[in-house]
């Protein structure tokens, strides 16, 4: 397939699953809209072309990654690592008391039903059981994080390179529109 056909196919898959979403200039998607291509467990093979992770904790459907309830925690990572400064955007929806996380070059930003599970119980713009947007801007070893424009304290020092990851812990989470832009 040539690059134009791949782009059109990807755009069609995303537009059918996520009408109204427009990818911002300079951003690239980390989720192709139909399967888990580009993601894997730490020491396992990539889930390229597969709609479900090997243990069923993660699945891809209708433009989303779904973190399915299960026993224990599971962490899924991008195959690609990100050694430059970047801007990461994603949307998530958490069921009541769901607990998950977004890993930024390994350190974890809690991503969950904040009003019930914390730690950000004072967020004014968080929408319970609805879509919320997280933005992460990484410059060197520092990440600035927001949820719907409100600051999320993230005191961890980042390594200079690493993947993006998601955690399956408790309850169902959904992620969509996961995209990243390299900052010059």
Note whether residue 79 is domain-resident: yes
CATH number at residue 74: 2.60.120.560
Residue 50 structure tokens: 């597969």
Note whether residue 7 is domain-resident: no
Q: Can you give the pTM of this predicted structure?
A: 0.88
pLDDT tens digits for range 15-42: 445 678 999 999 999 999 999 999 999 9
Task: Count up the domains in the chain and report the number.
Answer: 1
Note whether residue 149 is domain-resident: yes
Cα–Cα distance between 113 and 67 in angstroms, integer?
Answer: 13
Note whether residue 13 is domain-resident: no
pLDDT tens digits for range 105-132: 999 999 999 888 888 889 999 999 999 9
Residue 153's domain comprises 24-182
Note whether residue 72 is domain-resident: yes
Cβ-based neighbour number of residue 64 at 10 Å:
21
Note whether residue 99 is domain-resident: yes
Partnered with residue 173 across adjacent β-strands are: 67, 94
Cβ-Cβ contacts under 8 Å for 66 (sequence gap 6 or more): 58, 59, 60, 172, 173, 174
Note whether residue 11 is domain-resident: no
Please, is 115 exposed, middle or buried when counting C-beta atoms within 10 Å of its C-beta (0-12, 13-18, 19+)? middle
Q: What confidence category does residue 12 fall into, taking pLDDT thresholds of 50, 70 and 90?
A: very low
pLDDT tens digits for range 34-64: 999 999 999 899 999 999 999 999 999 999 9
Note whether residue 19 is domain-resident: no
């Amino acid at each position: 397939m040539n690059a134009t056909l791949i782009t059109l196919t990807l755009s069609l898959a995303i537009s059918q699953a996520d009408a109204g979403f427009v990818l911002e200039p300079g951003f690239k998607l980390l989720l192709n809209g139909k399967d888990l291509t580009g993601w894997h467990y730490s020491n396992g093979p990539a889930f390229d072309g597969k709609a479900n992770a090997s243990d069923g904790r993660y699945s891809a459907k209708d433009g989303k990654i779904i973190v399915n309830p299960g026993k224990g925690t599971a962490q899924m990572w991008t195959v690609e690592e990100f050694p430059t400064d970047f801007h990461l955007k994603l949307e998530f929806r958490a069921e009541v008391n769901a607990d998950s996380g977004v890993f930024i070059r390994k350190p974890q930003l809690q991503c969950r039903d904040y009003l019930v599970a914390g730690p950000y119980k004072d967020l004014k713009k968080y929408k319970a059981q609805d879509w919320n947007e997280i933005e992460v801007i990484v410059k060197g070893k520092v990440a600035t994080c927001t949820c719907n424009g409100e600051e999320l304290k993230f005191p961890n020092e980042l390594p200079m390179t690493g993947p993006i990851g998601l955690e399956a812990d408790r309850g169902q989470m959904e992620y969509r529109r996961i995209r990243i832009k390299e900052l010059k």
